[in-house]
């Protein structure tokens, strides 16, 4: 089992690895303190997706991402112009991005040899909406309007 004290680093590495493996030619995303807004300034323009991972340990993962950044990622991944991306396509792309990040991070945290079961991504779901604080969070983006927040919550969230 991995050192749970390094969960922030594991999460950041999982986000970076997933985006690098799924995209090509995307601009480098800034990380952490460069993304200053604590929460989405305009929640209407943000997409939320949640997923649960279970093994001997249970984790809940949430992704909050601006529509603009998600459309850019979907355009890059699907290799079609941003203007042609439908809501279903960018939501499905967001769910797949979260699925890859959650799977990679959970494996790093609990180890490869333990069984891991990922639930299905739930669109419009954020485990922190009820006020629960994440045990780890990673913020990446292009600027203060186009960014994502990837969070890990305890099973009680």
Q: Which long-range contacts (CB under 8 A, 24 or more apart) does 75-78 make?
A: 76/23, 76/24, 76/25, 76/26, 77/22, 77/23
**Does residue 80 contact residue 145 with C-beta atoms inside 8 Å?**
no
Average pLDDT over residues 53-67: 86
Average pLDDT over residues 43-63: 84
Average pLDDT over residues 111-118: 70
Average pLDDT over residues 97-105: 89
Domains of the chain: 4-153 (3.40.1550.10)
Tokens linked to 116: 């891991």
C-alpha radius of gyration, the chain, whole number: 15
Give the lowest-confidence range in 36-40, 129-133, 135-139, 148-152: 36-40
Average pLDDT over residues 34-61: 74
DSSP per residue, 84-125: G--HHHHHHHHHHHHHHHHHHHHHHHH-TTS--EE---EET-
């Amino acid at each position: 089992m991995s050192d749970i004290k390094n969960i922030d680093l594991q999460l950041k590495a999982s986000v970076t690895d997933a985006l690098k493996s799924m995209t090509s030619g995307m601009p480098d995303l800034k990380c952490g303190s460069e993304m200053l807004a604590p929460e989405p300034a305009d929640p209407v323009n943000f997409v939320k997706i949640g997923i649960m991972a279970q093994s001997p340990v249970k984790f809940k993962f949430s992704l909050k991402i601006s529509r603009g950044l998600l459309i850019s990622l979907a355009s890059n991944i699907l290799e079609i112009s941003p203007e042609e991306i439908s809501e279903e396509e960018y939501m499905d792309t967001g769910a797949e991005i979260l699925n890859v990040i959650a799977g990679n991070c959970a494996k790093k945290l609990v180890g490869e040899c333990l069984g891991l079961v990922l639930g299905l991504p739930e669109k419009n779901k954020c485990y922190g909406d009820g006020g629960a604080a994440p045990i780890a969070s990673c913020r990446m983006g292009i600027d203060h309007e186009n960014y994502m927040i990837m969070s890990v919550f305890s099973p009680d969230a």
